[in-house]
Amino acid sequence: MSSDNNQMASTSDQPPQVAPTQARNDIPMKAATRLSLPPNTVEKMVALQNNLHIETFKEGNLQQRMKELRVLANINADEAEDEFFENVERNPHLTAIALYNKRAVGYISCKMISNDMALYVYHIGVLPKYRKRGIGSALMHYAITNIAEKLTSLVGLILHVYDYEEDLIRLFSRFGFTDNPRGQRKEDPESWRVYNRLANEKVDVKEPPRKKYKEEPVEITIEVVTDDNMMEIPAINTKSRDIEDSDDLYMAVARFPHLSAFAILNGEKIGVMSCAEIEQNEYKQYLIMSLGVVPEHVVFKGKVFELLLKHAISTAEKTDDIEMVTYFCKNGDDVPFKLMNRLNFHLWKPYEDFYDNTYEDKQLFIKPIEKNLPQLANIANDSDDMDD
């Protein structure tokens, strides 16, 4: 699932200027204020009204819209399969397309579940060039105020989002969706989160209430794991869903507890880095086995990960024998990938198709500790960097 706030950065190109028009289904201020949205979100949506038109699929234009949808879905949602398109054709009134200056640039598609009592947001996507303009917000708003409100049997809306998709989580939260752990099914991927909202929630526009720590400078500190607090790691790992619990992992942590660390906010442990010391390929490694943040503080994921990674590097540099810090990044998790580049980790790629045959959905990054093994820097620089 992707949106205007998802992984790729928006282009700096300015949209072409057109003469103002007032299409019947554009987003007027009155409609935009029916939800509890921050004023800047409403203003961005209303500013689009002369350029953006959103409409549901209809029998008369279904073939043309399906062609456009297949192009959009291939760009934004590579997991879209035949079942997705079949659902659209069976229920065209549950899918809407966004036209920017008459060009198809985004879509939102839903389906009915739970005996027609819940509307499941199947996909939402916006072309990369048109992201960061409020089109994703406009599509979500349209689904709530146009598609959902016409369904008399509807009780609520449901969607899935990966726990590392922070921008999407913020988008959905602005529209009243809340995390519902009870909705998680055994067959769902571990990193999927279930969000839902009531179908007919409407309040005046106002800035959403904020927790006190968001109004003041946020200070996140690092606390080293000890024998006394080590048993708190499994609870955080379970909540963050970063790694599957195993006795081997915690036995490895127990051997060198000082290598692992907690992230602390207002006295609460909100994140953890589980580490071990290993020797592999003749190198002594500071292996980061997992990085995790609890869901209620996922907004701080980037900051927490950066502090924990810097702590690992600093700890390794204080030794006289650890030769590298290593971490396996999960494909699709943008936060650690960006940090790997920023903190001068190198992608370990000894040959071109190394990851096709060796690791599944992960890539190994290394940070040489040059004072302990200066020649390692040359080895790392010979491998392909993540930006190549």
Span 371-385, pLDDT tens digits: 887 654 444 444 444
Q: Which amino acid is present at 274?
A: S
- Is residue 115 within 8 A of residue 155, CB to CB? The reply is no
Instruction: With respect to residue 155, please indicate whether it lies within any of the assigned structural domains.
Output: yes
Q: What is the torsional sign of CA 66, 68, 72, 75?
A: positive
Residue 13 domain flag: no
Pick from 172, 198, 224: which residue ends a domain? Answer: 198
CATH code of 103's domain: 3.40.630.30
Q: Is the domain of 112 the same as that of 186?
A: yes
* Dihedral (Cα; 70, 362, 328, 163), 10-degree rounding: 40
- Integer Cα distance of 283 and 86 in angstroms: 53
What is the per-residue pLDDT for 34? 42
Does residue 156 share a domain with residue 65? yes
Which has more confidence, 252 or 190?
A: 252
Statement to judge: residues 121 and 243 lie in one domain: no
Q: Are residues 193 and 270 in the same domain?
A: no
Decide which of 198, 231, 255 is a domain's last residue: 198
| CB 285, CB 277: distance < 8 Å | yes
Look at residue 323 and tell me whether its pLDDT is greater than 80.
Answer: yes
Report the alpha-carbon distance of residue 292 to residue 300 in Å, rounded: 11
d(CA 263, CA 271): 5
Please identify which residue in the block is written with the tokens 């190109």: 13
**Residue 191 located in a structural domain:** yes
**Count of CB atoms situated within 10 Å of the CB of 87:** 18
- Looking at the predicted structure, is the pLDDT value of residue 12 above 50? no
CA-atom Rg of the chain in angstroms? 24
- The end-to-end CA distance of the chain, in Å, is 26
- Regarding whether 146 and 76 lie in a shared domain, the answer is yes
Same domain? 109 vs 47: yes
Query: What's residue 24's pLDDT?
Result: 32
Q: 172 and 226 share a domain?
A: no
97 membership: H or E segment, kind and range = strand 95-100
Residue 20 covered by a domain: no
The answer as to whether 1 is a domain residue is no
Provide the angle, in degrees to the nearest 10, between the axes of the packed helices 247-255 and 233-240: 130
Task: State the residue range of the domain holding 45.
Answer: 29-198
**Are residues 256 and 141 part of one domain?**
no
Last residue of one domain, picked from the residues 198, 231, 264: 198
Q: What is the C-alpha separation between 117 and 154, in angstroms, rounded?
A: 4
287 and 193 share a domain?
no
Angstrom distance (rounded) from CA 32 to CA 381: 52
Q: How would residue 145 be classed by pLDDT, with cut points 50, 70 and 90?
A: confident
In this structure, the answer to whether residues 243 and 192 fall within a common structural domain is no
Given its phi and psi angles, is residue 13 left (phi above 0), alpha (psi -120 to 50 degrees) or beta? beta
- Do 240 and 189 fall within a single domain? no
Local confidence band at 245 (pLDDT 50, 70, 90 cut-offs):
low
Residue % of the chain over a pLDDT of 90 = 24
Within a domain: 81: yes
Task: Look at residue 320 and tell me if it is in a domain.
Answer: yes
One domain, residues 180 and 263: no
* 331-349 burial: b if 16+ Cβ within 10 Å, else e: eebbbbbebbeebebbbbb
Rounded distance between C-alpha atoms, residue 349 and residue 154, angstroms: 51
Find, among 329, 322, 332, 361, the residue nearest to 345 by Cα. Answer: 329
Task: Give one DSSP letter per residue of 45-79, joined into a string.
Answer: HHHTTTTEEEEE--GGGHHHHHHHHHHHHHHH-TT
- How many structural domains are present in the chain? 2
- Asked whether residue 7 is domain-assigned, the answer is no
pLDDT at res. 259: 95
pTM above 0.85, yes or no: no
pLDDT, the chain, mean: 76
* Helix then strand then coil, % of the chain, to nearest 5: 35, 25, 40
pLDDT (mean) for 153-172: 84
Contact 332, 164 (CB under 8 A): yes
pLDDT tens-digit readout, 71-126? 888 765 555 677 888 889 999 999 999 998 889 999 999 999 888 888 999 888 88
Query: Alpha-carbon distance 367 to 347, whole Å?
Result: 9
d(CA 304, CA 298): 9
